[in-house]
Amino acid sequence: MSGEVLRADSVTRRFGDFTAVDSVSMTVRPGEVVGLLGANGAGKTTLIRMLLGLLATSEGAVELLGGPPDRTHRARMGYVPQNLGLYRDLTVVENLSFSAAAYDAAIPELPAALADVRNTLVGDLALGAQRQTAFVVALAHHPEVLVLDEPTSGVDALSRAELWDTIRAQADGGAGVLVTTHYMEEAQQCDRLLLMAGGRLVGSGSEDDIIGDTRAVAVHTSDWARTFAILNAADIPVILDGRAIRVPDTDPATIDEALSAAGVEAEIRPVRATIEERMLVLARER
């Protein structure tokens, strides 16, 4: 295994005529946090389910902790799926007790943030508290590998930061972590990134590695709504962030021509692309 806790070799998964994951190879090593990025439908969750043995591969092979992703090896991992994997009709402490018994582990002490709701049904908790509970349950048996599918989705910024403190602590303790996220600022907290689009792995490395020499154009105009509509109608990959308009991987002259033809005045300035913009470019190329 060469120290790898997760490994996929040319993994493919088909559903009928649809290929959800197409010949993806990747690894996760002990002590590192690997971010798996991509738009909805890119194949992230399907890849994770194959890595964990929850879904058979159509082609290729996966390894979990140096062996097949069977029950024995899964007992040494922690998993937080998108739906959190909790029993909503059990209390916080009942969920924790059930999981600890399943793994023959001691019941850990609840963090202060959950102590007051220990006897509350999980279904009655706010989403942030549910996610904290899912983390406690997943970590109760001290896993060697941690797989997190959108673990911070839908929670406030403070809760996200606290959950990322927990993720980093697990990696610092030697666990390998694979995490998917929609929040691009969280990508900066990963040691390495894997970028998927259209079921394929289209980029890997650091954020700078993935962005490469991709450029973008910042468009400043008072008539931002009309500007967006014009560029979008011209099939130019325009992004709107509040009232700020950015266009990745496009010749500034093309933008100027489209706006001038419509009588729109704008300041057009080339800038370095963000990772989100690089993702958009790669998705369009697929």
Residue 130's nearest CA partner among 80, 176, 167 is 80
pLDDT in tens, the chain (286 residues): 448 999 999 999 999 999 999 999 999 999 999 999 888 888 999 999 999 999 999 999 999 999 999 989 998 999 988 888 888 999 999 999 998 888 888 888 888 888 889 899 999 998 888 888 898 889 888 999 999 988 877 777 887 888 888 899 999 999 999 998 877 777 888 999 999 888 999 888 988 888 888 899 999 988 888 999 999 898 888 888 778 899 998 999 999 999 999 898 889 999 988 888 888 777 776 6
In the chain, where the domains are located: 6-210, 212-285
Helix or strand holding residue 196 (H, E): strand 192-197
Residue 199's nearest CA partner among 58, 74, 66, 81 is 58
3-state secondary structure of 31: coil
pLDDT of residue 146: 94
Q: Report the topology of domain 212-285.
A: Alpha-Beta Plaits (3.30.70)
pLDDT of residue 286: 63
Alpha helices in 140-274 (DSSP H): 157-172, 184-187, 207-211, 224-233, 252-261
pLDDT of residue 1: 40
Crossing angle of helices 127-139 and 92-102, rounded to 10°: 20
Is the alpha carbon torsion for 274, 275, 280, 286 positive or negative? positive
pLDDT of residue 103: 85
The architecture of the domain spanning 6-210 is 3-Layer(aba) Sandwich (3.40)
Output DSSP code: residue 4.
-
- List, in sequence order, every residue forming a beta bridge with 250; answer none if it has no partner: none
Residue 220's nearest CA partner among 188, 197, 245, 199 is 245
Q: Which two tokens stand for residue 260?
A: 């001038």
What backbone torsions phi and psi does residue 37 show, to the nearest 5 degrees? -110, 155
pTM of the model: 0.82
CA distances from 197 to 10, 128, 178, 184, 282 (A): 16, 29, 17, 15, 7
Residue 99's nearest CA partner among 138, 129, 73 is 138
Cβ atoms within 10 A of the Cβ of 220, count?
Answer: 13
